Amino acid sequence: MMSLAERHHYILKQLQSEGSVNVLDLYRALNVSSVTIRKDLKLLEEKNLLFRTHGGATLNNPYTADRPVNVKEKLQAPEKMKIGAVAAKSVEANDSIIIASGTSVLALAKNIEPRESLTVITSALNVALELMKHPEVEIVQLGGVLRKSSSSVTGPYAENILSDFSCTKLFLGVDGIDLEFGLTTTSVNEAHLNRQMIAAAQKVIVLSDSTKFGKRGLGRICGIESVDRIITDEGIPKHFVTNLEGAGIEVTIV
């Protein structure tokens, strides 16, 4: 049986390799109890060598903070544009879609080239302004309280309007994707609106750069079982791809 130091060395080596670890894999590999592994993770966290998460640990702080949209636009900008370009290919002629808020879905709006007519329902002001240049696009702008950090609206007015629609696809941006906790955003109100969007759409397509995986925001949107497809970049950790595809989610890596 491994010593305490050997276990800690193994855990940190796995973290460096995979980016995150989970208790189940560790106690199977090390042949110790889950209680022992949780104690090991606690000790390593106290030494500032990792961050504990529900069911495991990660090298990076899993909790994401809200940032202004003009700041977020500059982060992973090339990856987001590639993601947006691929997502735009799934927009069909005479489609009726929902576009939520965020810089990844703004990249989608910038890449949309409408074929015939297209109806877009959105909570994001910057998405609506981007699509205004296309005469073929009919835009339904949801109303409500303006959330300045995301240039979008939230609240009961927007939620009530959504109950009158049934759309083919929802393009959703998120602040965090956790295999156990699901999809999250930094705003509870935005999370609630996103759930209403999911209810109004036949297919849920998540646009997320790879830095969002293993992260959590304050507001939980849904579990991963509510997602049909995720479009991301090649930085996504391999174990996320394996687990997501195992859950029946189509993962597209650009």
Q: Which domains does the chain have, with CATH numbers?
A: 4-58 (1.10.10), 69-253 (3.40.50.1360)
Helix (H, G, I), strand (E, B) or coil at 55: coil
Q: What is the pTM of this model?
A: 0.79
**Element housing 125 (H / E):** helix 125-131
Predicted local distance difference test score (pLDDT) of residue 180: 86
The edge-to-edge listing of strands for the beta sheet with 176-178 is 176-178, 182-185, 219-222
Mean pLDDT of 99-126: 95
* 124-171 per-position pLDDT tens digit: 999 999 999 999 999 999 999 998 888 999 999 999 999 999 999 999
* 170-222 per-position pLDDT tens digit: 999 999 999 889 999 999 999 999 999 999 999 999 999 998 998 888 899 99
pLDDT at position 69 over 70: no
The edge-to-edge listing of strands for the beta sheet with 167-173 is 137-141, 118-122, 95-99, 167-173, 201-207, 229-232, 250-253
